[in-house]
Amino acid sequence: MALRDRLAALLAPSAKASLIPLGTAEQPDVGLEKGINDAQLLSIYADDPWPYICASKVADEASQAPLRFGLLTPEGEWEAVPPDHPVQSLWDAPNPHTDGTDLLYTLMLYLDLVGHAPIEVSRPKVGAARLSSANRAGFELWSVQPGPWRIVAKPDGTIGGYRYEQDGRIVARWTAQQMTYLLWRNPNDRWYGQGRFQAVRQSIMAEEYAAQRDRLFEKRYGVPPGLISVKGAIGTASADEVQRRWEQ
């Protein structure tokens, strides 16, 4: 989906507050499984701080540059929208607890580590006074931890909703209008992304598995079976026969 369409979905007037009971017809079905479990990846990063430190540094640098939205003029020139534009004000004041810099930092961190970053889109019907005055439309954007997060697909290949699962239980559900997500493209999956640090880890693990396979192969098949199955001494003729068969 193009960025323009995503932003249009974010500002759709029919968007609902999240975590409210959905109608039976709206209940997302079974979540799509991930090729690599995000929660397992994040736990690995917790054990080894260096990937997290690198991803955190990248996210910190990326979030320091202010994100500005704009439109193309009829002449093809990019023109920034004013600060009070609904999209710009939503990004600058995404929710009562964070600003656009904090949100971008978290999103970039998840993108680099696992490849996708879910964003909950809500428009609370109560407590509107707690919203920043800069966010005139009343929408909120919240980053969601991607580990237990799942995409729910429709039979026609479109997204029907999202689920948040923990310990086999569905903790939260969202319709397609209540959430969106960013991703780094994954050549092996059309739905979920692949983080840059995840890709590096996969490359390293592939080399490790190949080395283990080679060591196992050489241990089992690198020596002719005749040499390891004969317990007693053998003569020159027998040794020459084993050597001849090995070289065939």
184-188, 226-230, 238-242, range with the lowest pLDDT: 226-230
Rounded percentage of the chain residues whose pLDDT exceeds 70: 64
Highest mean pLDDT among 104-108, 125-129, 218-222: 104-108
By C-alpha distance, which of 69, 103, 73, 99 is closest to 86? 69
Is a pLDDT exceeding 80 seen at residue 33?
A: no
Tens of pLDDT along 67-95?
A: 888 988 888 889 998 988 888 888 888 88
Task: Give 118's pLDDT tier (boundaries 50, 70, 90).
Answer: very high
Place of tokens 């040499």: 227
More confident residue, 169 or 225: 169
Range 209-219 average pLDDT: 71
Distance CA 192, CA 42 (A): 16
- Specify the range with the lowest mean pLDDT, choosing from 45-49, 60-64, 146-150: 45-49
Q: What is the pLDDT of residue 156?
A: 77
> What residues form DSSP beta bridges with 137?
none
Other C-beta atoms within 10 Å of 48: how many?
10
Q: Are 192 and 115 in contact (CB under 8 A)?
A: yes
pLDDT value, residue 26:
47
Given this model, what pLDDT does residue 21 score? 41
Beta-carbon contacts of 165 under 8 Å, excluding residues fewer than 6 positions away, are: 31, 148, 150, 171
Whether residue 32 is predicted with pLDDT greater than 80 in this model: the reply is: no
Give 160-199 pLDDT, tens digit per residue: 889 988 887 888 889 888 899 999 988 888 888 888 877 7
What confidence score (pLDDT) does residue 23 get?
A: 46
Closest CA to 18 of 175, 182, 138: 175
Provide the 10 A C-beta neighbour count for residue 101: 17
The model's confidence at residue 19, banded by pLDDT at 50, 70 and 90, is very low
Which pLDDT belongs to residue 6?
56
Q: Where in the chain are the domains?
A: 3-194, 203-247
The region of weakest confidence among 83-92, 109-118, 123-132, 195-204 is 123-132
> Do 89 and 137 form a contact (C-beta atoms < 8 A)?
yes
Which has more confidence, 233 or 174? 174
Could you tell me the sign of the dihedral formed by the alpha carbons of 53, 56, 60, 61, in that order? positive
The tokens 């050597």 sit on which residue?
Answer: 243
Q: Is the pLDDT of residue 207 over 80?
A: no
- Bridge partners (DSSP) of residue 161 are 152, 175
